[in-house]
């Protein structure tokens, strides 16, 4: 039975990797298994065990779990104390060779850094890891690993180096699946510590990557490192969250459900698309959202207010959302009473009234707060054309569209002036935990053709940017304007 369980779990991981899904529900797995005859099942297991997942007999592979049951994804892979197989990794960049064996790092503390270009905490860690790598030399080795292809990851890193004016010496593995199969995870960044003998020492988040921890481990001291767990629930966002017709005792035409934070459920929301199908009910499903985020969905009526257009005018904003938290720390803040799940289902005839229903539900469930949409005077800057300006010399030469910005330069190729305004709006967006006022930018040049811009100024230095813009016939004009805002207040 133990052997069968190991083979059963191994095949599950194989199907998971091939389909590129984070999780598979048990009934889907059974359907996938049913299409294989006994001989195929046997050969797939043997090939998988010998070529993809070379675990020793002591390795533990968990069985798939049923729907709605939370599982720690890290428990599906190698555990602390287990030996890491000597994999050969290809697609290696910024290293002396394009392929490496994990055994090449025996004798060192090896830290696998699972990251992605879209993960801001991951990117923020790159300079810190590079600094630690230089400090500890051949005693420690950081190895960055991403599932993204080289065509996506490497140009991103090159742009980051240009923007920060620094060359990073960390080796990078792109297009990875082998290491992800050994160390399954859900959230990023994800760090796997492998000791000098090739055994798993720890699986942590980024908070444990410190000079003190590395120094003590290199000196042979025992260090109490955190244990990162990626709890996940097999859930298809296209399905109702709490129950559907198949699980209802009687037919249901309309309902609304609240719950607290649900462990393992990815934060996000879904709203029914406006398709012409009377048989499909309207639905809004919000997963592990804060009070402000729930109001952003409800008051936005299908568009959702962003943080730039949200004002928190509450006495203790940190009680409802902690802007300074990322990754596991942010999820922990949701667990502490800031995260909620909400779902409303109604007949299609309800139309946009569905959002008003949600607003009424929020008012009942959160009586200490109120939300309104109102015009609020905000600082703005309008991009305008100077008298006599000639934009013919700015017209694009037709190269591939691109945007590159850093602290000293703005390079925009084959875009309209809207691209510059969009970059300024994004750069000057701050979380409104204390009602901090942003600057809203508008394009009022009246020029709609595509241009090439090479400006020697950063997005953050507005006085310098304005001086440089004047050279090409543009100016940013400051003025206060009423902006439609979502305002959340304490209820009297």
Q: What is the pLDDT of residues 353-398, one digit of tens each?
A: 999 999 999 999 999 999 999 999 999 999 999 999 999 999 999 9
Residues 49 and 80 in one domain: no
In a domain, 249, yes or no: no
In a domain, 431, yes or no: yes
Residues 294 and 345 in one domain: yes
In a domain, 238, yes or no: no
pLDDT, residue 248, reads 66
pLDDT, residue 69, reads 76
Q: What distance in Å separates the CA atoms of residue 200 and residue 195, rounded to the nearest whole number?
A: 6
75 pLDDT above the threshold of 80: yes
Residues 46 and 177 in one domain: no
Which of residues 301, 336, 367 is at a domain's end?
367
pLDDT, residue 275, reads 56
Least confident range of 10-24, 44-58, 93-107, 220-234: 44-58
Residues 271 and 363 in one domain: yes
pLDDT, residue 430, reads 61
471 pLDDT above the threshold of 50: yes
pLDDT, residue 186, reads 86
303 pLDDT above the threshold of 60: yes
Question: Does residue 182 contact residue 77 with C-beta atoms inside 8 Å?
Answer: yes
Least confident range of 18-32, 336-350, 442-456, 463-477: 18-32
Look up the domain containing 321 and give its range: 255-367
Residues 184 and 271 in one domain: no
In a domain, 247, yes or no: no
Residues 95 and 54 in one domain: no
Q: Residues 6 or more apart from 145 whose CB is under 8 A from it?
A: 112, 113, 114, 115, 172, 173, 176, 179, 180
Tokens 């097999």 correspond to: 234
Which residue did the predictor score with more confidence, 51 or 193? 193
pLDDT, residue 437, reads 57
Please give the tally of structural domains in the chain.
Answer: 4
pLDDT, residue 30, reads 30
Q: What distance in Å separates the CA atoms of residue 185 and residue 191, rounded to the nearest whole number?
A: 10
The CATH number of the domain holding residue 156 is 3.40.30.10
Which of residues 170, 199, 232 is at a domain's end?
232
pLDDT, residue 47, reads 31
Residues 404 and 477 in one domain: yes
User: What pLDDT band is residue 277 in, cutting at 50, 70 and 90?
Assistant: low
Report the candidate in 255, 262, 271, 272 with the shortest Cα–Cα distance to residue 235. 262
User: What pLDDT band is residue 34 in, cutting at 50, 70 and 90?
Assistant: very low
452 pLDDT above the threshold of 50: yes
pLDDT, residue 287, reads 95
In a domain, 245, yes or no: no
In a domain, 154, yes or no: yes
Which residue did the predictor score with more confidence, 50 or 208? 208
User: What pLDDT band is residue 166 in, cutting at 50, 70 and 90?
Assistant: confident
Residues 101 and 226 in one domain: yes
Which residue did the predictor score with more confidence, 468 or 33? 468
427 pLDDT above the threshold of 50: yes
Q: What distance in Å separates the CA atoms of residue 454 and residue 270, rounded to the nearest whole number?
A: 40
Residues 95 and 162 in one domain: yes
Which of residues 367, 383, 417 is at a domain's end?
367
Q: For a pLDDT cut of 70, what percent of the chain falls above it?
A: 82
In a domain, 239, yes or no: no
pLDDT, residue 160, reads 87
In a domain, 491, yes or no: no
| 412: its two tokens | 């925009």
Residues 52 and 97 in one domain: no
Residues 467 and 395 in one domain: yes
Most confident of 250-259, 267-276, 414-423: 414-423
24 pLDDT above the threshold of 60: no
Residues 146 and 41 in one domain: no
Report the candidate in 211, 220, 225, 146 with the shortest Cα–Cα distance to residue 180. 146
């Amino acid at each position: 039975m133990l052997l069968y369980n190991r083979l059963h779990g191994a095949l599950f991981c194989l199907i998971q990797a091939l389909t590129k899904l984070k999780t598979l529900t048990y009934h889907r797995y059974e359907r996938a298994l049913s299409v294989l005859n006994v001989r195929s099942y046997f050969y797939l297991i043997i090939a998988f065990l010998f070529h993809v997942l070379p675990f020793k007999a002591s390795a533990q592979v968990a069985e798939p779990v049923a729907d709605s049951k939370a599982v720690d994804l890290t428990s599906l892979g190698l555990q602390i104390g287990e030996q890491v197989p000597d994999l050969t990794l290809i697609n290696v960049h910024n290293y002396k060779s394009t392929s490496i064996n994990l055994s090449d790092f025996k004798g060192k503390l090896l830290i696998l850094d699972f990251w992605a270009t879209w993960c801001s905490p991951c990117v923020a860690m790159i300079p810190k890891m590079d600094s630690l790598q230089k400090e500890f030399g051949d005693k420690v080795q950081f190895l960055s690993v991403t599932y993204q292809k080289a065509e996506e990851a490497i140009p991103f890193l090159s742009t980051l180096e240009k923007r920060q004016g620094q060359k990073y010496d960390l080796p990078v593995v792109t297009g990875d699946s082998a290491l992800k199969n050994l160390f399954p995870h859900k959230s990023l960044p994800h760090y796997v510590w492998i000791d000098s003998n090739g055994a798993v020492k720890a699986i942590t988040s980024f908070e444990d990557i410190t000079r003190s921890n590395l120094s003590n481990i290199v000196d042979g001291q025992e260090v109490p490192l955190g244990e990162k767990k990626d709890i996940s629930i097999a859930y298809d966002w296209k399905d109702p969250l709490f129950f559907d017709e198949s699980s209802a005792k009687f037919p249901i035409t309309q309902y609304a459900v609240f719950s607290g934070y649900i462990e393992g459920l990815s934060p996000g929301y879904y709203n029914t698309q406006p398709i012409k199908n009377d048989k499909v009910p309207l639905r809004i499903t919000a997963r592990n959202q804060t009070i402000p985020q729930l109001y952003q969905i409800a008051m936005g009526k299908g568009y959702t207010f962003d943080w730039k257009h949200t004002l928190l005018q509450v006495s203790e904003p940190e009680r409802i959302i902690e802007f300074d938290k990322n990754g596991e720390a942010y999820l922990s803040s949701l667990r502490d009473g800031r995260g909620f799940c909400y779902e409303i289902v109604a007949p299609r005839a309800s139309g946009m009234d569905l959002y008003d229903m949600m607003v009424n539900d929020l008012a009942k469930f959160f009586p200490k707060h109120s939300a309104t949409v109102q015009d609020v005077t905000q600082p703005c800057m309008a991009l305008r054309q100077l008298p006599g300006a000639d934009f013919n010399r700015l017209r694009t030469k037709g190269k591939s569209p691109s945007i590159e910005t850093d602290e000293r330069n703005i390079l925009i190729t084959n875009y309209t002036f809207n691209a510059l305004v969009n970059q300024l709006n994004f750069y000057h967006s701050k979380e409104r935990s204390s009602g901090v006022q942003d600057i809203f930018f508008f394009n009022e040049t009246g020029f709609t053709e595509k241009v090439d811009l090479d400006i020697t100024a950063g997005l953050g230095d507005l006085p310098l940017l304005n001086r440089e813009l004047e050279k090409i016939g543009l100016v940013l004009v400051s003025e206060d304007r009423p902006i439609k805002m979502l305002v959340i207040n304490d209820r009297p």
